[in-house]
Amino acid sequence: MGIAKNIGQRIALDGEGGSARRRKQGVVVSYIYTAVQIVVNLIYVPLLLSTIGQDEYGLYQTVGSIMTYVISINGILSAGVGRYYSMYKAEENEHMMESTLAIAKRLYWVLSIAVLVIIGAIIPVFRGAYAGSFTDSQLDECSIMLVVMAANAVVTFNNAVNVAAINANERFVFLKGVSMVALAAQPILVAIVAHFYPNAVIVTFVILAMNILSSTLQRIFAQCYLKIRYTFHGWDKKLVRDLLGFSVAIVLVAVADQVFWNSSNLVVAYFYGAGPVAVYAVGSQVYKAYMSAGMGVSGVFFQRVSVLYHHDRDMGAISALFAKVGRVTFLACSLILGGFFVLGQDFIAIWAGEGYEASFWIAIVVMVPMTVDLIQNLGLTIMQVEDRYLFRGIVYFALAIVNVVASVLLVPRFGVVSAALASGLCMFVGNGLIMNWYYSKHIGLDIHLFWNEIRGLAVPFCLATALAVAAYRLCLESYNGILSFLLGGCMYLVLYALIVGKWGLNDYERNQIKNVMMKLHLIKRESDEL
């Protein structure tokens, strides 16, 4: 009782100051989580390839691509639950807070049953569709993995209300901390267990076990620490409609996102079998890591955009912020993209091993057009503030369908890389042409200003990358090995810093970099030098 009383007192005393502190901690821990996710993925892929082999990894990626569609069902409710629970919490309406979680919990039970029925229907269809490219034993493995991953989806669905409640109470450090520990522990457990049972099925069992553990901890935290209640007060038809209808645009984008990024694995598997899926998956892991690294900036500016739009209606200031954030994001993205141009082929060879040469081209033909989307990611935040996000959902969904059709037509004729090429071209048309037209004509952003600002960085970046590629190919590549790889990386960083720093950065950016270097004690403050 004493412990419970102390916990209650801590919660009661945790006022607005604690809330602001938790939000700042949440931003920091989100960046840390993203960094850990990228590092773990870089370790995880070669670990899986070395323990279960290329074909088994291809099976795992094929089944995983199917399950991402199923998991996306979670988006039907998750955004709505978080929104309405937070709204009622702000109003201190405990009755509706409890009703929101209780009704959502029952809706998730229905979705869980739907998932089991869907997987039961998918298994025979999958076996029939892939009978020509997979062996009987591989089909059996995929069937088992689908069942295990369906159980994993049920666990995720039934824990969603706890995650929503923890988020609404702004306990971001706990939520991300648990996810981070599970993320880091997963490859360790896989390495241990796969040593004795080297197949893809065991990987799915480890994922299920880690999800059960994480969900249990989150449930205990929500119920025992935060005192969350799920009391059912009867069906509220309006609330049910609101929960299901709130996130139409967000869900449309989420589903399109899964179709866009995961259909290629299924198409490659259909025409070529499990091995080539592994080759494609290695390339996709690179561009997905690139995507994660490039998306960390824009979300921080949501509140700033809201103020500029709702209070001032200052589209000039929003356009200036759009260009400013775009330049900062381009600096981060171009540094990674140029480095991959210089060292990518050797990186793939060191990271994944022999037989994955095509993975470099799979990654690069997606990363180049993806850069446009990443540096304009704040545009999506602006669309959400203006409540125009549905257009993005419609465009993205249409492009996802075109991507699937193009992949089906190109892959059997031109090979695995053509699936990535189809995705890259769709991204260029959708994110590069259509969205820029929409930003200019319907949102009112100054797109000419944006691209003039980006051009000031893009030209020096291209020069630095071209010089680094030429120098690496002529002077260092023939030596091979880790040493030449590291020397090539250092050479690229020096060229990038000198050329982009001299002819690309503006005064504001130079001052920001200087301030960071002073905080890290890499250079002395001017007052210290006097």
Give Cα separations from 137 to 142, 183, 223 (angstroms).
Answer: 9, 29, 44
Q: Is the pLDDT of residue 529 over 80?
A: no
Cα 233 from Cα 219, distance rounded (Å): 21
Taking each continuous run of H as one helix and of E as one strand, the counts in the chain are 22, 0
Please name the residue ranges forming H helices in 353-480: 357-375, 378-385, 389-414, 417-427, 435-438, 447-471
Instruction: Give residue 310's identity as a one-letter amino acid code.
Output: H
pTM of the predicted structure, to 2 decimals: 0.77
Give residue for tokens 């306990």: 171
Q: Is the pLDDT of residue 8 over 50?
A: no
Evaluate whether 126 touches 44 at the Cβ level (below 8 Å): no
Q: What is the pLDDT of residues 212-239, one digit of tens each?
A: 999 999 999 988 888 888 888 788 788 7
Instruction: Write down how long the chain is.
Output: 530
Q: What is the pLDDT of residues 187-207, one digit of tens each?
A: 889 889 888 888 889 989 999
Which range, of 70-84, 88-102, 367-381, averages the lowest pLDDT?
70-84
- Mean pLDDT of the region 74-92: 74
Q: What is the pLDDT of residues 334-356, one digit of tens each?
A: 999 999 999 999 999 888 888 89
Q: Is the pLDDT of residue 377 over 90?
A: no
Give the pLDDT of residue 526: 56
Give Cα separations from 297 to 26, 88, 108, 273 (angstroms).
Answer: 14, 29, 32, 39
Residue 53, both tokens: 């082999």
Percent of the chain whose predicted confidence (pLDDT) is above 90: 33
Q: What is the pLDDT of residues 262-314, one digit of tens each?
A: 888 889 999 998 889 999 999 998 998 898 877 765 555 555 666 676 666 67
Cα 50 from Cα 56, distance rounded (Å): 11
Give the pLDDT of residue 169: 78
185: left (phi over 0), alpha (psi -120 to 50) or beta: alpha
Which range, of 72-76, 99-103, 181-185, 318-322, averages the lowest pLDDT?
72-76
Task: Give the distance between the most distant pair of CA atoms in the chain.
Answer: 77
DSSP secondary structure string, 118-180?
HHHHHHHHHHHHTTTTS-HHHHHHHHHHHHHHHHHHHHHHHHHHHHHHHHHTT-HHHHHHHHH
Q: Is the pLDDT of residue 528 over 70?
A: no
